[in-house]
Amino acid sequence: MRRKLGVIRMTPLISAALIIVFLGVHPSWRQPSEALPGLPAVWAATPEGELTAAEEVIILVYQEVGPAVVNITSTAMVYDFFFNVVPRQGAGSGFFIDERGYIITNNHVVEDARRLEVTLASGKKVSARLIGRDPFNDLAVIKIDVPDEKFHIVRLGDSDQLRVGQMAIAIGNPFGLDRTVTSGVVSSLDRTLRADNGREIRGVIQTDAAINPGNSGGPLLNSRGEVIGINTAIFSPSGGSVGIGFAIPINKVKRIVPQLITKGRVSHPWLGISGLTLTPEISRTLSLPVKQGVLVVRVTRRSPAARAGIRGGKRRIRIGNTILRVGGDVLVGVDGQEIKSMRGLIAYFDDQKRVGQTVELEILRDGLRIMITTTLGELPKELS
């Protein structure tokens, strides 16, 4: 459908859609009808003037959760074109998770902020302080102290039970428009996003509920009013919503937030290597007996890998247009599981292991397979 001088150009698809609309207002089409077999009753015709079941769900969820959603304004100091230090304001959303005034939001909403201000549902503006943040998963916790204020608290759901197609409701402050609600469905599950620091956020929820700048940090909810995710990003060639939004699953948030509150950061398990995912081309060039695994390029000094004696690359070669550091160990397994990529190795550590736990690594060295055991350390702060 294209507009030119006020004229809407018709395509066969649009013409058919208009025929359906016109038929829909014919008196014979106004009679109540039963839902099709297998479909919920919400799709049955609703008497004129009454709300559908879906509308009632969205209204109830908004009434219950809306007061728990806040508008967050951050002020950071940046350099302008002439290298003068000037304040820059950003805005996002967040929501209360307990009566003490703790608020969950995105890391990118509060990162580098010199000052944070929260606007409550009542319109009251309160200064907030940063409690902790995790750039790896784009999560942060802030807190306000208002002794005489009773906070509305959200209920957390179970993102592991989500199914594609179920209702998804987003509440936030897009473009500064307080407590806006949009709805859609869970479009897909287990997506992967890349955080600002280059690390991947796995298991992300995709939704077509409209999410725009300012929605970041707000809740994505199911039809029971439970938080199933935190809205964090959109895919958009135009900068606005095109129906592809992403939310961090709430079960990941449940694991991370307690650490943010108690320590101000998250302890990520760390082996201490830089690695390259093997490809068939690299494997052939190096005459390796394996076609998948992680080629160890570099080992960080005094890291768990260094203490275990893992070896990095010793010489440089060119493969195509890429110069690689080769000659190091090849990781092919961890704790009895095959390792197919560097991404898979990091995912295993993040999802299955904790700092201080022991791992058994299967390594290919000079054509021989050997087993090495080491204890995972904590990712240094300067690398996070």
CA–CA gap between residue 361 and residue 383 (Å, rounded): 23
Of 159, 187, 216, 241, which residue is the catalytic one?
A: 216
Give me the phi and psi of 263, to 5 degrees please: -115, -15
Q: Identify the active-site residue in 108, 134, 268, 329.
A: 108
Q: Cβ distance 50 to 210 under 8 Å? A: no
**Residues 294, 300, 301, 304: is their CA dihedral positive or negative?**
negative
Residue 10, pLDDT score: 33
Q: Is 152 annotated as catalytic? A: no
If we measure between CA atoms, which residue out of 304, 302, 311 comes closest to residue 349?
A: 304
* Residue 168: Cβ-neighbour burial (10 angstroms; 0-12, 13-18, 19+): buried
| Interatomic CA distance for residues 93 and 178, integer angstroms | 9
Structural contact between residues 219 and 257, judged by C-beta atoms closer than 8 angstroms: no
User: Can you give the pLDDT at residue 26?
Assistant: 41
What's the half-sphere exposure (Cβ side, CA atoms, 13 Å) at 237? Answer: 0
SS3 113: coil
**Single pTM value for the model:** 0.73
Please report the pLDDT score of residue 21 as a whole number. 35
Strand-pair category, 167-172 with 155-156: unpaired
Q: CA-CA distance, 103 to 353, in Å (whole number)? A: 27
* pLDDT number for residue 15: 38
108 is catalytic: yes
Averages of pLDDT over each 10 residues, the chain, 384 residues = 35 36 37 49 62 89 93 70 54 92 93 88 92 92 90 93 95 84 93 74 91 89 95 75 87 93 91 90 86 92 93 81 81 92 88 91 91 92 68
Q: How far apart are CA 81 and CA 134, in angstroms?
A: 30
Residue 224: name the closest of 163, 186, 181, 169 by CA: 169
Give pLDDT, residue 280.
85
From the CB of residue 186, how many other CB atoms can be counted at a distance below 10 Å? 23
What token pair was written down for 255? Answer: 């694991």
Q: Which domains does the chain have, with CATH numbers?
A: 52-266 (2.40.10.120), 269-383 (2.30.42.10)
pLDDT for the residue 46: 61
Of these residues, 74, 93, 134, 138, which one is catalytic? 138
pLDDT of residue 35: 46
